[in-house]
Structure 1
Amino acid sequence: MSDANKKQEKDYTLEVDELLPQAKSLAESGKLQEALDKLFALEKQSRNASDLKSTTRLVKAIIELNYEARDYTQLNSSINVLSKKHSQLKGAIQAMVELAVTWLEEVRERDGTEKWLELVETLRTVTEGKLFLETPRARVTLALAQHHESLYRNASGKSAISPRDSLITASDLLIDLQVETYSSMERREKTEFILEQMRLLLEVARLKDSESGKKDDKDSLGGGETEWVKFKVQSRKVNEQFLKEKENEDLRLKYYDMMVQYGLRHHAYLDVANYYYKVWETPSIKEDTNGKGKAALEHIVYYVALSPHDNQQSDMMHRLYNDSALEKLEVQYNLIKSFTTPELMRWPGIESVFGPFLRTTDVFQNDKHWEDLHTRVIEHNIRVIAKYYTRITLTRLTTLLDLTPNQTEETLARLVVAGTVWARVDRPAGIVNFRNKRSAEDVMNDWSSDMQKLLGLVEKTWMGMNAAQAAQSRVKA
């Protein structure tokens, strides 16, 4: 039963008004326990009478006297005891917890981390499992997680917990809280909390990857793969429509920065290009045409060029090519133009024209990215050849692709399996066939279509001749 549905049997306002000054005077004179006993006695009466206002004033007064006396043992005990009292009013517990939360920073600065941790653990214990205290619990837990992360950042070797365990503890503390379901937390605070969960998962994943030496092995079950999976799950809880609002640009940039890191770890180049596109669409970024806006647009070009060919990649590349903003970036514009033009891109020429500039960028300093660009160029060339040739010798194909025979067959086989092109290799004859054998139905369908076009032309011509004859007859008449 909620506090609002409990009928108040008696009003203890006058008794509380009289007792509070007395209790404060007793505490100041060194008789803290006597003051607390009087407050606890009246608190029981007001609680049993369902007097929410008086009960709230009393529980707050009890913990305030303990706090002012710097008696943290008594303070933590009082918070625990008051929260567990029979028929304790929710409003009173909530007011008590919220008041204690405001003291946390002052406790840490004045009395040290040990006392701060004791109060934090008390508040976490009191708020556990109580829906009406979910928001204070989340805030206290966030503060505790940040404390453990600071132990990882400022590791001195004196702590009983290793820096690695401190970081993992910080992440585990936050990930246990499902803030997206909290009704009492504001939307922006929820988003900030989820982004903090994602950031810590990212830190732990990288740490475990570096320890296992498998940071580029996305199929491995070892390393930080568990954290990467959790990261992806958490990322889906962020409402991207909410991030589009102008006042949330800082959250938008933070979110997509982490998503870029996730995409790069899994070599999902098209996803990375889309994330950079979201960044570029941010008004403050797009307006900065010579700074962050330019950098974002350049990265979109690089990663869409690195992406394997499919309908989505092709659509994005053509939209980029037609965007007037890209024309201001000569190198990037010409790179996209090369991929959108159905002509061969000989790798030695691409390497000599674009290489000196691209190899100085943060993207293509990575040898893996440069190798992937070479692969995309080869795949582009195979698609162009398949468009213009029905049959070609393997030797000629190898020459056009600037590859060895084995590399040519391997690349061609990969594109065939992916469904990008249709091809069959006659190895004894050394011929590659790019045209599938047509069935009788396909031939008949094409013949039927051609006949319809022919009959349409005949009908149009006949009508034209009739019109000309009729006009000539009128002239003669």
Structure 2
Amino acid sequence: MSETATGKLQQKDFTPEVDELLPQATSLAQAGQLQEALEKLFALEKQARNGSDLKSTTRLVQAIVELEYDARDYVQLNSSINVLSKKHGQLKGAIQAMVELAISWLDDIKERDGTEKWLELIETLRSVTEGKLFLETPRARVTLSLAHHHEALYRNPTPKLLPPRDSLITASDLLSDLQVETYSSMERVEKTKFILEQMRLLLEVAKLKDTESSNTGKEDKNMLNSGEPEWVKLRVQSRKVNEQFLKESENESVKLQFYDMMVQYGLRHHAYLDVAKYYHKVWETPSIKEDVSGKGKTALEHIVYYVALAPHDNEQSDMMHRLFADSALEKLEVQYNLIKSFTTDELMRWPGIVDVFGPFLRKTEVFSNDKHWEDLHTRVIEHNVRVIAKYYTRITLVRLTALLDLTPQQAEETLCRLVVAGTVWARVDRPAGIVNFRNKRSAEDVMNDWSSDMQKLLGLVEKTWMGVNAAQAAQARVNA
């Protein structure tokens, strides 16, 4: 006696009985006596199952469903799959083999016998695999096929069925219900691709709902009827993808698909720095980087545009300076000069920026968007405020307004926003019309700075004195 995968000891080997019965059952089915053949197979299947003979039980359950499939008796086929999977003491290996065999027929059934028969078998398989850990991967694959079917109904609406939008939402919900990241039986590549499919459908639903919300004039990202819930789910799903795994060369197409969706997520929420990072990941891909005049050039241009659009902070500044130091950027004249302007402590007068960069940038995909062009103007103003704060201790509001090319109200609003954000320190004396960029210092601070300066001065004096002594000693030795 041997032990089966379930841990039960095999009581008897039914191989001889199975070898004898299978040809007989096949002959009976071919002669039109399917029910008689099934009765014989079911009877022996029970004996093999009770005897814990996994190999024989597997052969018998596969023979049962295969005869029904060959006879195109789909009612009996669906019934047998349900019944055999729920039999008392049924062996897991036998159920798994039966389900996998049925899955292999799905494409042929859909093509030959129509969608209705295909859907019936799909629902049967989903019912049989529900709640069974050893069937989690087959269930995920079947559910993916069903989701694609509902997505196809959205792309090609059929009268008398669900409204197109409901079909797309159903497809997304079907996949979102599966937590494939916990499936130990699914290969890593398949698992990643499955998560990307979940993200793709969530993205489709989010964009659809956003469009509907915008068309009704009730656009609000916090409203439940907008696409915001799907955008949140998309972000959650993205965290399940191992980005180290995406760096492997064989996963390049998966990586590009992932970052394309992340770019769309970042743009939806105006997270420009994140978008720049996503494009940087794309640009680092070997095949993209090697295409210096095509996709590589496009990716690098987008990195420049979105890092320039991102609000100033330490991370943004660091990324911009590292990008400026990259030799690859020197080949892009316009983008290089744009980054150079932002990394140089000089004023960027907006009228000049419009004249120099406007004709080119406004034709690009990024800056043809009026919102992005307005945000670039905002970043230029903020850069100018930081430069002014660096070179001026005090400045009149009139002069500040002129340097920023803004109205007095706009200049004050911009300055206040940067002060609140902690980007610059400033205080506005409205009656006097003066902006102070230096905080009043206490006597202790002044003394500390004086002490530090004196220590530096004494250090320089001592270093100079030692140098003079060394020179005199050397001269004395030469004269001697």
Of residues 209, 222, 227, the one that matches 1:224 is 227
Determine whether 1:234 maps to 2:237: yes
- In structure 2, distance between residues paired with 1:320 and 1:407: 31
Q: CA deviation at 1:466?
A: 4.1
Corresponding residue SS for 2:395: strand
- In structure 2, distance between residues paired with 1:103 and 1:195: 26
Corresponding residue SS for 1:432: strand
Tell me the amino acid that sits aligned with residue 296 of structure 1: A
Q: CA deviation at 1:161?
A: 1.0
Superposed CA deviations along residues 66-110 of structure 1, whole A, max 9, x for unmatched, are 101100000000000000000000000000000000000000001
The aligned residue for residue 367 of structure 1 is: 370
Q: CA deviation at 1:450?
A: 1.3
CA contact (8 A) 1:326 1:333 kept: yes
CA 1:240–1:468: 2 relative to 1, 3 Å: closer
Of residues 381, 384, 389, the one that matches 1:378 is 381
- In structure 1, distance between residues paired with 2:219 and 2:329: 32
The aligned residue for residue 161 of structure 1 is: 162
Q: CA deviation at 1:320?
A: 1.2
Corresponding residue SS for 2:423: coil
Moved more, 103-112 or 454-463: 454-463
CA contact (8 A) 2:273 2:306 kept: yes
Q: CA deviation at 1:471?
A: 5.2
CA contact (8 A) 1:60 1:95 kept: yes
Corresponding residue SS for 2:233: helix
Q: CA deviation at 1:438?
A: 1.6
In the alignment, structure 2 segments of 5+ residues that lack a partner are: none
The aligned residue for residue 292 of structure 1 is: 295
Of residues 375, 396, 400, the one that matches 2:399 is 396
Between the aligned residues of both structures, percent identity stands at 82
Corresponding residue SS for 2:428: strand
CA contact (8 A) 2:6 2:91 kept: no
- In structure 1, distance between residues paired with 2:477 and 2:332: 65
| Equivalenced residues, count | 476
In the alignment, structure 1 segments of 5+ residues that lack a partner are: none
The aligned residue for residue 306 of structure 1 is: 309
- In structure 1, distance between residues paired with 2:475 and 2:57: 109
Tell me the amino acid that sits aligned with residue 191 of structure 1: T
The aligned residue for residue 284 of structure 2 is: 281
Give RMSD over aligned pairs: 1.6
The aligned residue for residue 177 of structure 2 is: 176
The aligned residue for residue 128 of structure 1 is: 130
The aligned residue for residue 80 of structure 2 is: 78
Q: How does 1:47-446 map to 2 (within 5 A)?
A: 47-156=49-158, 158-213=159-214, 217-446=220-449
Determine whether 1:46 maps to 2:43: no
Q: CA deviation at 1:2?
A: 7.2
Give the structure-2-normalised TM-score.
0.96
- In structure 1, distance between residues paired with 2:262 and 2:412: 35
Q: CA deviation at 1:322?
A: 1.1
CA 1:395–1:44: 2 relative to 1, 3 Å: same
Q: CA deviation at 1:3?
A: 2.5
Superposed CA deviations along residues 184-243 of structure 1, whole A, max 9, x for unmatched, are 111110010000000000000111111111797545554011100000000000111111
Corresponding residue SS for 2:435: strand
CA contact (8 A) 2:202 2:231 kept: yes
CA 1:424–1:74: 2 relative to 1, 3 Å: same
Tell me the amino acid that sits aligned with residue 172 of structure 2: S
CA 1:20–1:155: 2 relative to 1, 3 Å: same
- In structure 2, distance between residues paired with 1:46 and 1:179: 34
CA contact (8 A) 1:215 1:265 kept: no
- In structure 2, distance between residues paired with 1:95 and 1:461: 89
Q: CA deviation at 1:10?
A: 0.3
Superposed CA deviations along residues 405-437 of structure 1, whole A, max 9, x for unmatched, are 000000001111111100000000000000011
- In structure 2, distance between residues paired with 1:162 and 1:300: 40
Corresponding residue SS for 1:3: coil
- In structure 1, distance between residues paired with 2:220 and 2:365: 21
CA 1:124–1:355: 2 relative to 1, 3 Å: same
CA contact (8 A) 1:24 1:65 kept: yes
